[in-house]
Structure 1
Amino acid sequence: MGYADTLFDLTGRVVLVTGGSRGLGRAMAFAAAHCGADVVVASRTYVACAAVSAEIQKETGRAALPYAVHVGRWDELPGLVDAVHERFGRIDVLVNNAGMSPVYEDLGQVTEKMFDSVLGLNLKGPFRLSVLAGKRMAEAGGGAIVNVSSTGSIRPRPAIVPYAAAKAGLNAVTVGLAQALGPTVRVNTLMCGPFATWATRGWQENPEQLAEGVRPHALQRVGAPDEVVGAALYLMSDASSYTSGATLRVDGGMP
């Protein structure tokens, strides 16, 4: 095993990825398994989680547990943590990736239900899950939490105001939890720019919007899901052993 392989090695660890059945979450779950981890693929739909878990097991030989959960529902999260501990005995890495940003034509169309749903999934759930898993990590001697945020949190646009607010809150949660769970548990933000995923399909299918959206970025293109893997593995692994409370941007050079 080479030096780089050792640095990013996750052998024997358990990695829980929310929103793990597609997009960036799927890419990160596969990457963790390829680096030796057993993984938990969690999302709302069990069938999707089971399909991805089966692919991971076949391709990497690692164990993969599918679990259906709505991250925005506070009371469902203890069951997820308990299920992972029952199967694997621990959680070494939590990746809070599940999120959503509903489309609306005008800010006046944002209902209280929509606003609460966006904050629930993007902010409340990750906070609750981080506390539940983080306390157990600390008791076990250590771990890592990766909160997947968005450049929208620092560059909010009219079309994503509730989402941007939730992700800005998640950035703050990262810093607070890094202090609360340290020194043994590291908590960091992985701040993503535009990626070619299911969540951005509408934007990608509009050439004018796509061109306008990527023009300010240094790389002037949308990222592929696999291009988040290097940064994610850095934050999951011992490669980032002296990194906590930090924000790592993967956004194609957003100004």
Structure 2
Amino acid sequence: MNIEKTAQHFNLTDKVIVITGGTRGMGLEMAKAFAQAGASLVVSSRKADACAAVAAAIRDEIGTACIGVPCHVADWDACDALVDAAYAEYGRVDVLVNNAGMSPLYDKLSSVSRDLFDKVIGVNLAGPYRLSALIGERMAEGDGGSIINVSSTSSLMPGAKEIPYAAAKAGLNALTTGLAHALGPKVRTNCILPGPFLTDISKAWDMDAMSKVFEKTIPMQRAGHAEEIVGAALYLASDASSFTNGAIIKVDGGMSYAAS
């Protein structure tokens, strides 16, 4: 076995990666892993101070180039500005990770306002569309690249308390397939479908009740940890996935959807 050659498949040196929702949770773990694999980064989230802090930490602790650019991805003008900042800094983008998302709580279906519904669609679907269109077209005209969308198992199995979010993520799955056709063959577009993960969202869970659900529906009998998303992200960002396009990769511990 040629270990050096195998490792090279996952080497991201000289790659430029833009990641939204990159300042906490799974997004932060992906950003750190990309940097450790040699990539230069644009880390984005809505809060400028969080972007600046994460970018500085990556530069100082890992030693790779990283800038933080605040962006509310539901705002297409902000998406345009994020893209402009990335190309102004590095001259190109090789990988786009559409990770930003939101799933608001609501008491009943009719309590979801039009503004809130539009915001959920904007963050989870419209923003990824805009960024993928802007960056993906440039990738297709240049040396190619990879787009990674981060969806949710809710897109396949919506719960009663997450319907707008689930609908938006189902749209993201469809967007993945469509972009694979629209931007191929030079641009690969794939989707990671995380199951339940222990991130900021999980702080609101009734963990005793959720643990019982996990035991029944997930062979791993637990939720994932944020760092466990890294393997799929590195695969899709790197040359290791050179013939993977339009794929939806579940990272859910083997969740049984029928039983759920």
Task: Give the TM-score of the pair, scaled to structure 1.
Answer: 0.97
Secondary structure at 1:5 match in 2? helix
Alpha-carbon distance between aligned partners in 2 of 1:114 and 1:132, rounded to the nearest angstrom: 25
User: CA 1:221–1:236 in structure 2 vs 1: closer, same or farther (change >3 Å)?
Assistant: same
Residue 122 of structure 1 aligns with which residue?
124
User: CA 1:101–1:213 in structure 2 vs 1: closer, same or farther (change >3 Å)?
Assistant: farther
56-65 or 207-216: bigger deviation: 207-216
Q: Superposition pairs for residues 74-89 of structure 1, below 5 Å?
A: 74-89=76-91
Deviations 1:12-54 (A, max 9, x none): 0101110000011100000000000001110000111111111
Residue 193 of structure 2 aligns with which residue?
191
The one-letter code matched in structure 1 to 2:13 is T
Q: Superposition pairs for residues 62-101 of structure 1, below 5 Å?
A: 62-101=64-103
Task: Give the TM-score of the pair, scaled to structure 2.
Answer: 0.95
The 8 Å contact of residues 214 and 222 in structure 1, kept in 2 or not, is answered as no
Q: Superposition pairs for residues 40-189 of structure 1, below 5 Å?
A: 40-189=42-191
1:212 positional shift: 2.5
2:241 paired with 1:207: no
Q: Superposition pairs for residues 213-228 of structure 1, below 5 Å?
A: 213=214, 215-228=216-229
User: CA 1:45–1:5 in structure 2 vs 1: closer, same or farther (change >3 Å)?
Assistant: same
Alpha-carbon distance between aligned partners in 2 of 1:162 and 1:213, rounded to the nearest angstrom: 23
Secondary structure at 1:226 match in 2? helix
Alpha-carbon distance between aligned partners in 1 of 2:9 and 2:190, rounded to the nearest angstrom: 18
Identity of aligned residues (%): 52
Residue 26 of structure 1 aligns with which residue?
28
The 8 Å contact of residues 211 and 221 in structure 2, kept in 1 or not, is answered as no
1:89 positional shift: 0.6
1:226 positional shift: 0.5
1:214 positional shift: 5.4
- Unmatched runs of 5 consecutive residues or more in structure 1: none
Residue 246 of structure 1 aligns with which residue?
247
36-45 or 133-142: bigger deviation: 133-142
Deviations 1:194-233 (A, max 9, x none): 1111122201x54223433553111111101110000110
Secondary structure at 1:158 match in 2? coil
Alpha-carbon distance between aligned partners in 2 of 1:110 and 1:33, rounded to the nearest angstrom: 39
Deviations 1:123-164 (A, max 9, x none): 000001000010111121200000000000001111110000
Secondary structure at 2:198 match in 1? coil
Alpha-carbon distance between aligned partners in 2 of 1:252 and 1:14, rounded to the nearest angstrom: 30
Alpha-carbon distance between aligned partners in 2 of 1:214 and 1:150, rounded to the nearest angstrom: 19
The one-letter code matched in structure 2 to 1:215 is K
Alpha-carbon distance between aligned partners in 2 of 1:116 and 1:68, rounded to the nearest angstrom: 20
Alpha-carbon distance between aligned partners in 2 of 1:3 and 1:211, rounded to the nearest angstrom: 43
The one-letter code matched in structure 2 to 1:44 is R
CA RMSD of aligned residues (A): 1.2
The 8 Å contact of residues 100 and 199 in structure 1, kept in 2 or not, is answered as no
Q: How many residues of Structure 1 are paired with residues of Structure 2 in the alignment?
A: 254
Alpha-carbon distance between aligned partners in 1 of 2:185 and 2:88, rounded to the nearest angstrom: 26
The one-letter code matched in structure 2 to 1:186 is R
Moved >3 Å (runs of 4+): none
Secondary structure at 2:126 match in 1? helix
The one-letter code matched in structure 1 to 2:193 is M
Match of 1:9 among 11, 21, 37: 11
The 8 Å contact of residues 103 and 159 in structure 1, kept in 2 or not, is answered as yes
224-233 or 108-117: bigger deviation: 108-117
Deviations 1:168-201 (A, max 9, x none): 0000000101100001000001111011111222
